[in-house]
Amino acid sequence: MTKSTPPMVSGALPVVGHAAEFQRNRPDLIRRGFVEHGSVFALKLANQNVAVVIGPENQKKFFMETDGRLSIQEPYQFLKAMFGEALFLAPHDKYLQQRPLVQELFKREKMLHYVDVMQTVVQEWLDGLDDSGKMDITSEIGVLVQEVAGNCFLGPEVHQAIGREFWDLYIDVGKALDPLLPPDLPLPKFIKRDKAKARMTEILGPIIAERRTNPHKYDDFLQDIINKAGEGDEPIDEEMVRNLLVALMFAGHETTAGQAAWTLIFLLQDPAYLQKVLDEIEAIAPAGVHIDPKRMVQLDHIAWAVREVERLRPSADMLMRVVKEDIEFGNYLIPEGWLVQVAQEIAHKLPSQFAQPETFDPLRFAPDRAEDKAHRFGLIGFGGGTHKCTGMNFANNEMIIITALMLRQFEIELVTQDTKILRGLGANKPTKTIVRYRRREPALAEPVLAAVA
């Protein structure tokens, strides 16, 4: 018996199908499809059919068939217009050439160095705060994460040299994220994107040239890329070095900023769990103590909170592939030429995988419960399979450092009580969230203030 294609979600409009709703409110659209049809269903985005697949086994197939019957490059042409043929945006042979280079940059000995840099940068930010005041934690953490990425990836000298201009150019690059429109249309946002890329090239060109001339003078992420790019049978050219650097720096701050802010927000909303975090910090890494790797791996309650934020507030709410050869998901056949999508926000809230899935409960990741271990592909905030985010440990370490250093030195209370998810075509993040803070004297000793009514 021939299998049919997945059933279509209700609400498709003539010509455009679900495209407008997909742009406006993807999670509600996906949730409706799941309620109507279960774990496999279809959307129509203008003339493009999209199969949505949900649940650990479907997600396993989605990731394991990538680079086989499913292609990762084609759905992300809009990113290719921004970053060129970098990493998964490159043809498979070039991707295989680049991936070991990037993996080398995130090896354990490198991560030890990055953790030290992270602490230096975060501490400088904390030292620069007034002893008390208010701040928008979302925007402040956004800038802080850029500072961390710049100092780790470029080194402090280059990061200082490029200044705020370089990071501000990412605003125009980010606004050009659009998976539905052809990326070469002569639209203002695409024109601004190309101008921003050209200016980035002007800024990075002399820096890369200097690094090539004096390769032994520097020891940082940028120099590692340049050194590795010149090795092997097919050295990577300067354009690829630049594309890799710009793409990694974008990923290194765009996706982490929101989740770092959400971690603090969720902790402040849960005083009982926050106290567990404070007690752990005081026992393992009290004020003034450097958080070395041995101490970091003992900060379990912060690590579990970071993982719970990955579950509840994944920075990306969808991942897509193009079907290169007919493939079955469940009882349905997905034809060649369709898109296939997983939806993290829905997948991470399946009651069959996570108890009370709408509740912030980091202890679900404690060893006695270990809900994330029930299925390898149940938690997919960083993707899965061959293309799982190479910088996952970097991002998680950064969020642990920000949380630990900030909470051990400041009492913080939420002023904004109704933080929402700010959605766009880039990474999701919290809406503007005001906190009141006060420096602890002399160390973590007093209880955190109750939330403002």
Instruction: Give residue-wise pLDDT tens across range 325-338.
Output: 999 999 999 999 99
| pLDDT tens per residue across span 223-282 | 877 777 656 556 567 777 788 888 888 877 778 999 999 999 999 999 999 999 999 999
Please tell me the predicted confidence (pLDDT) of residue 417: 92
| 77's tokens | 């042409």
Query: Is there a cis peptide before residue 335, judged by omega within 30 degrees of 0?
Result: no
Spell out the domain ranges in the chain: 54-439
Please tell me the predicted confidence (pLDDT) of residue 246: 82
Going through 110-149 in order, the beta strands assigned E by DSSP cover 132-136
Question: Which 8-state DSSP code applies to residue 12?
Answer: P
Q: How many CB atoms lie within 10 A of CB 7?
A: 14
pTM over 0.85: yes
Confidence check: pLDDT of 452 > 50:
no
Please tell me the predicted confidence (pLDDT) of residue 451: 40
Long-range contacts of 447-450 (CB under 8 A, 24+ apart): 447/275, 448/268, 448/271, 448/274, 448/275, 448/278, 448/407, 448/411, 448/412, 448/413, 449/411, 449/412, 449/413, 450/271, 450/413
Residues 54, 342: contact at Cβ < 8 Å?
yes
Q: How many CA atoms lie within 13 A of 409 on its CB side?
A: 20
**Residue holding tokens 């470029």?**
154
Report how far residue 71's alpha carbon sits from residue 316's, in angstroms, rounded to the nearest whole number.
19
The closest alpha carbon to 44, from 25, 19, 65, belongs to 19
Calculate what percentage of the chain has a pLDDT beyond 70: 94
Among 43-57, 169-183, 374-388, 433-447, whose mean pLDDT is lowest?
433-447
**Residue holding tokens 């109750």?**
450
Among 136-140, 157-161, 227-231, 338-342, whose mean pLDDT is lowest?
227-231
Please tell me the predicted confidence (pLDDT) of residue 390: 83
54-439 carries CATH number 3.40.50.970: no
The closest alpha carbon to 266, from 433, 122, 75, 28, belongs to 433
Report how far residue 169's alpha carbon sits from residue 163's, in angstroms, rounded to the nearest whole number.
11
State whether residue 410 is helix, strand or coil.
strand
Please tell me the predicted confidence (pLDDT) of residue 229: 66
Most confident of 116-120, 152-156, 231-235: 116-120
pLDDT category at 95 given cuts 50, 70, 90 is confident
Residues 194, 167: contact at Cβ < 8 Å?
no
Please tell me the predicted confidence (pLDDT) of residue 28: 93
State whether residue 134 is helix, strand or coil.
strand
pLDDT category at 409 given cuts 50, 70, 90 is very high
Q: What is the arithmetic mean of pLDDT over 12-31?
A: 92
Q: What is the arithmetic mean of pLDDT over 307-322?
A: 93
Better pLDDT: 40 or 247: 40
